[in-house]
């Protein structure tokens, strides 16, 4: 049972699909996520984009990954196939792995459903063992239920992805579900 859900799409941006941090397999998550956001919008389930908007001096850029998803650049744009719907979807920029870290995500979630708040975050995007994991940690700490779209998340390697899913299930009690199953639950 998925209660007061919000779909959160993490780092679905050009630089992760076609730019410096691209990997081939990520293309597989696009179609399931398209279906998921279409169903969500149709059923008044909020769709939130939790996306990198880096400054060049951000610790993640300088110390770990090099330049990617720099605020205002083409690389930081959401990929065309998953474009946010103007005036309906929400975009919450972040500057490191977790979508909650020093962003407005938590107050946004609490304000939805007429102030009742989101209870379940449904996560899709990149990467299973990094931004999805850190966002799940912060969601767990704040009391949200966590659902992971199994065919809607990916990582740099198959091992990273599979171990990432196991970790999410084990540590945060995340429910790993196929996009189709999630859609069935959110359709009213
Ligand atoms: Zn980043």
Domains of the chain, earliest start first: 5-186 (3.40.50.850)
- Ligand 1 centroid to 58 CA: how many Å? 9
- How far apart CA 142 and CA 165 sit, in angstroms, is 20
- Ligand 1 centroid to 13 CA: how many Å? 10
Does residue 48 carry a pLDDT above 90? yes
Phi/psi at 122 (nearest 5 deg)?
A: -105, 110
- Ligand 1 centroid to 86 CA: how many Å? 24
- Ligand 1 centroid to 42 CA: how many Å? 30
- Ligand 1 centroid to 43 CA: how many Å? 31
- Ligand 1 centroid to 28 CA: how many Å? 21
- How do strand 120-126 and strand 5-10 relate by DSSP bridges? parallel
Does residue 16 carry a pLDDT above 90? yes
Does residue 160 carry a pLDDT above 80? yes
Does residue 143 carry a pLDDT above 90? yes
* Side-chain half-sphere exposure of 60, counting CA atoms within 13 A: 15
Question: How many other C-beta atoms can be found within 10 angstroms of the C-beta atom of residue 127?
Answer: 23
% residues pLDDT > 70 (the chain): 100
Q: Is 75 helix (H, G, I), strand (E, B) or coil?
A: helix
Tell me the average pLDDT of the chain: 97
Tell me the mean pLDDT in the region 53-82.
Answer: 96
% residues pLDDT > 90 (the chain): 96
Does residue 49 carry a pLDDT above 90? yes
- Ligand 1 centroid to 98 CA: how many Å? 10
Position 19 scores a pLDDT of 93
- Ligand 1 centroid to 76 CA: how many Å? 10
Tell me the mean pLDDT in the region 96-113.
Answer: 98
- Ligand 1 centroid to 71 CA: how many Å? 11
- Ligand 1 centroid to 167 CA: how many Å? 21
- Ligand 1 centroid to 32 CA: how many Å? 23
Position 188 scores a pLDDT of 75
Which pTM was predicted? 0.97
């Amino acid at each position: 049972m998925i209660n007061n859900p919000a779909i959160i799409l993490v780092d679905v941006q050009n630089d992760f699909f076609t730019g410096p941090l691209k990997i081939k397999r990520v293309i597989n998550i696009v179609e399931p996520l398209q279906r998921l956001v279409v169903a969500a919008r149709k059923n008044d389930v909020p769709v939130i984009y939790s996306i990198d908007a880096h400054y060049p001096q951000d610790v993640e850029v300088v110390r770990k990954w090099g330049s990617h998803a720099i605020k205002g650049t083409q690389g930081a744009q959401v990929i065309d196939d998953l474009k946010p719907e103007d005036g309906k979807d929400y975009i919450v920029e972040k500057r490191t792995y977790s979508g909650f870290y020093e962003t407005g995500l938590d107050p946004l979630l609490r304000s939805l459903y007429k102030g009742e708040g989101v209870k379940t975050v449904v996560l899709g995007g990149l990467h299973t063992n990094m931004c999805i994991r850190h966002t799940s940690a912060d969601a767990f700490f704040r009391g949200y239920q966590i659902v992971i779209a199994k065919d809607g998340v990916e990582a740099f390697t198959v091992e990273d992805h599979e171990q990432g899913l196991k970790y999410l299930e084990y540590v945060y009690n995340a429910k790993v579900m196929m996009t189709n199953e999630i859609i069935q639950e959110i359709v009213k």
